[in-house]
């Protein structure tokens, strides 16, 4: 049996477990979970690995587990119990390269190979080693609605997308990367949830309409019930780093994480991950994407920072793009070409409390004292390709 099942449903009076019978098997009666403190409900004796189940709140429709590790039938289907200890790792002596030495390669599992699976991607890792890659950065692999997608509309944050393979297939991919000297960084999206298959609001106040993001309601990080929402995200980060042996996380668009508390979610997350490192016996990475040029992301909390390891910045890219293509539309109107390339190399940020014509206000802060090795720069990423109608890459342009 696996550990007890737990679900947070603070507004529910009764939570029942619905087990899917095996094909041809007899129906299994629903079981009632025991209420616990803080809006939690618990099934103490757990379920056998491989069991399909859902939760029913106050007699409503059965819903998948918000913390499901495996959704073999998609995000609308039942959750399946997965034993996180079943996989036998071979990376016991693994130590990842430092961020200062990193050459990151963005890899979308669904398009990296014709098969679009973890197993197929693992078969091509020697190609990446030959390129000189040190860190494979997986674009989001969390479960999302449908078969194909970028992964930025994820809703099952704890479960790998079933089209890509079984959870143990992802573990095997990470294991194979480590065996070839490649670290793995996973892109995670904590600033919003996808529009289809998002059952989290049925369970509790995971979202709030007090703030809006480009994707709709914001994640509730500072309102009633937000302690457990924050815990959900931090536990998610720890699960990828611990259970799946991922070496780091790339945190998508952290400027959309609206948090007015005294200890920002990012600082709390960094604290939790540093504590996890002691248990893992290896370092991890937290790299934040933000377009605000805010060095607090990577400054130490003793200096008023959040204590993250890296900041994904776009100023160098934008300067190079304008220099090579001459394009000046959209956010490219803020850049002058080679002059900004030089500025980015000297200072890390081009926009350091400088007025942005595109945004209509000042942007950024001087990152004085921040080592350049904490800034992750690129010639092109999925964002710049995906934001173009035809998806041209810089080599085409």
Active site residues: 252, 289
From 47, 62, 75, 249, select the one nearest 160 (Cα to Cα): 75
Longest dimension (CA), the chain: 72
Outline where DSSP puts E strands in the chain. Answer: 5-8, 15-19, 31-32, 34-35, 40-43, 52-57, 79-80, 104-107, 135-138, 142-144, 154-160, 183-188, 207-213, 216-219, 248-251, 285-289, 310-312, 354-356, 361-363, 375-376
Token pair, residue 182, equals 């490649």
Token pair, residue 34, equals 């025991």
15, containing H or E segment: strand 15-19
CA 167, CA 72: separation in Å to the nearest integer? 10
From 236, 309, 244, 239, select the one nearest 270 (Cα to Cα): 309
SS3 (DSSP) at 326: coil
SS3 (DSSP) at 47: coil
- Any idea of the CA torsion for 378, 265, 309, 288, to the nearest 10 degrees? 0
Integer CA distances (angstroms), 212 to 70, 262, 376, in order: 30, 21, 28
- Any idea of the CA torsion for 262, 267, 271, 274, to the nearest 10 degrees? -170
Residue with tokens 């390269």: 97
For 332, half-sphere exposure in the C-beta direction (CA atoms, 13 angstrom radius) is: 18
CA 353, CA 363: separation in Å to the nearest integer? 5
């Amino acid at each position: 049996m696996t550990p007890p099942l737990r679900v947070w449903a603070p507004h529910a009076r009764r939570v029942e477990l619905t087990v899917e019978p095996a094909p041809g098997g007899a129906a299994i009666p629903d079981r009632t979970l025991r209420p616990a403190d803080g809006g939690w409900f618990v099934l103490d004796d757990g379920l056998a690995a491989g069991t399909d189940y859902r939760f029913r709140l106050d007699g409503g429709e059965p819903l998948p587990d918000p913390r499901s590790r495996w959704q073999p039938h998609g995000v609308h289907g039942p959750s399946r119990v997965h034993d996180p200890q079943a996989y036998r790792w071979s990376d016991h002596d693994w130590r990842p390269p430092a961020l200062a030495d990193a050459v990151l390669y963005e890899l979308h599992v669904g398009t990296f190979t014709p098969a679009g699976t973890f197993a197929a991607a693992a078969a091509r890792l020697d190609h990446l080693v030959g390129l000189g890659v040190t860190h494979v950065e997986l674009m989001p692999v969390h479960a999302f609605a449908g078969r194909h997608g970028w992964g930025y509309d994820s809703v099952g944050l704890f479960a790998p997308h079933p089209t890509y393979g079984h959870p143990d297939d992802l573990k095997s991919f990470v294991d194979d990367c480590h065996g070839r000297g490649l670290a793995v960084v996973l892109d995670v999206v904590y600033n919003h949830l996808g529009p289809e298959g998002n059952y989290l609001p049925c369970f509790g106040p995971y979202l709030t309409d007090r703030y809006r993001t480009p994707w709709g309601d914001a994640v509730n990080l500072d309102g009633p019930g937000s302690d457990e929402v924050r815990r959900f995200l931090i536990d998610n980060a720890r699960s990828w780093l611990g259970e799946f042996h991922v070496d780091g996380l790339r945190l998508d668009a952290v400027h959309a994480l609206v948090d007015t508390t005294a200890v920002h979610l990012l600082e709390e997350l960094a604290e939790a991950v540093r504590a996890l490192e002691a248990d893992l016996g290896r370092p991890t990475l937290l790299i934040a994407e933000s377009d605000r040029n805010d060095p607090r992301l990577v400054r130490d909390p003793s200096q008023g920072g959040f204590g993250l390891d890296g900041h994904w910045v776009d100023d160098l890219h934008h300067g190079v793009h304008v220099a090579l293509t001459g394009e000046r539309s959209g956010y490219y109107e803020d850049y002058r070409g080679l002059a900004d390339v030089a500025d980015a190399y000297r200072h890390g940020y081009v926009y350091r409390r400088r007025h942005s014509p595109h945004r209509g206000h000042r942007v950024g802060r001087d990152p004085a004292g921040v080592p350049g090795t904490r800034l992750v720069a690129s010639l092109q990423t999925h964002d710049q390709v995906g934001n173009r109608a035809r998806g041209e890459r810089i080599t085409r342009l």
